[in-house]
Structure 1
């Protein structure tokens, strides 16, 4: 209900209106500004955060977390940079629906649905990388719509990507702190299933909202 009550811009993989105006007006290299915008996007990007939460939900060792987060970062960075630089855009409603699907996929994976239903376990590393590609396209599509100036484009995009990774580390740190406390409680395993079902429902809401926007728009 909270998601449905949010504004349309909140559901899209969007940059805030004030930031949108700034992106459209500036010309040349603005490294610090784009680092800030990238970090802000990631920290406030609930779809990214939900997916990251699903990815690390049952990961306890830091080296395992680092591998999965790195795969997601590689995928996200690659399509964001290439998508904007080569002007490759995808309908924002469809790409955001796929991002919602990534949340559903990971929640189902966490509750062991694929093993029970199909008797197979998908390659979780490959899935994290592939969905990282889609998350990157979600952002590149929005940046293309804002017609960022070509002068200083590559430097600004690289700075934006650095900001995204900084924001990802901040969001991940907060998630790990909360998860660390939760995992030490007796009720963690008892409530883990419910938490992932709630995550899956949030993903379905995102998919439904975006597909509705696609057909209505």
Structure 2
């Protein structure tokens, strides 16, 4: 329990980043672009969800559609969440993000069709979970205690950075997946990989639930 609590508490913004942002005022576009890109590219929960989304997508047009839907979702709630100061527990939101990883991996292995006899609308689900991922980003940004001076331009810059980080993460995933898909082991281990993602999603969920109820 102590280990889980520590991990959950550690899932926030870096102290140095928070201190820097808390001290500056006015429009500072480049620092916020950097922070947005850093948070998305190093956000393992977001990367796991992206991996699940593109796991069985081969055509770039399909990848572009789903990634765009996800980007619209998280951009909307990130901007609105910070601008209107939606103070929601980061542990609660991150727990839902962990479940989004579980959902997508279950969808990839056809669990919903086998268990319930229907296929959820994958585009709608991607948008809904994108909205929750955006709220997760908003809770992190609110931890920076940003000055209201230049808030909107700085938020837009942060969102641009998030998209840059997402593209970098996506490019990395696609390169790795491209090599893996050319091997015979891909179809052999694709199911196992998604089961591992389910486990990872539940671990992320468990960390955040512990933080929600244990961390003061």
Task: Work out the CA distance in 2 between the residues paired with 1:173 and 1:122.
Answer: 27
Task: Work out the CA distance in 1 between the residues paired with 2:194 and 2:94.
Answer: 20
TM-score (norm 2): 0.95
Compute the RMSD of aligned alpha carbons. Answer: 1.5
> Which residue number corresponds to residue 113 of structure 2?
115
TM-score (norm 1): 0.95
> Which residue number corresponds to residue 56 of structure 1?
54
Task: Work out the CA distance in 2 between the residues paired with 1:169 and 1:64.
Answer: 15
> Which residue number corresponds to residue 72 of structure 1?
70
Task: Work out the CA distance in 2 between the residues paired with 1:9 and 1:69.
Answer: 29
> Which residue number corresponds to residue 178 of structure 2?
180
> Which residue number corresponds to residue 162 of structure 2?
164
Report matched runs for 1:1-217 at 5 Å. Answer: 7-10=7-10, 12=11, 14-217=12-215
2:85 partner SS: coil
Unaligned runs of 5+ in 2: none
Unaligned runs of 5+ in 1: none
Task: Work out the CA distance in 1 between the residues paired with 2:4 and 2:55.
Answer: 25
Task: Work out the CA distance in 2 between the residues paired with 1:189 and 1:5.
Answer: 37
2:160 partner SS: helix
Task: Work out the CA distance in 1 between the residues paired with 2:172 and 2:5.
Answer: 25
2:134 partner SS: helix
Asked whether the 8 Å contact 1:89–1:137 carries over to 2, the reply is no
Figure out how many residues of one structure are paired with residues of the other and give that number: 213
Cα offset, 1:98, TM superposition: 0.2
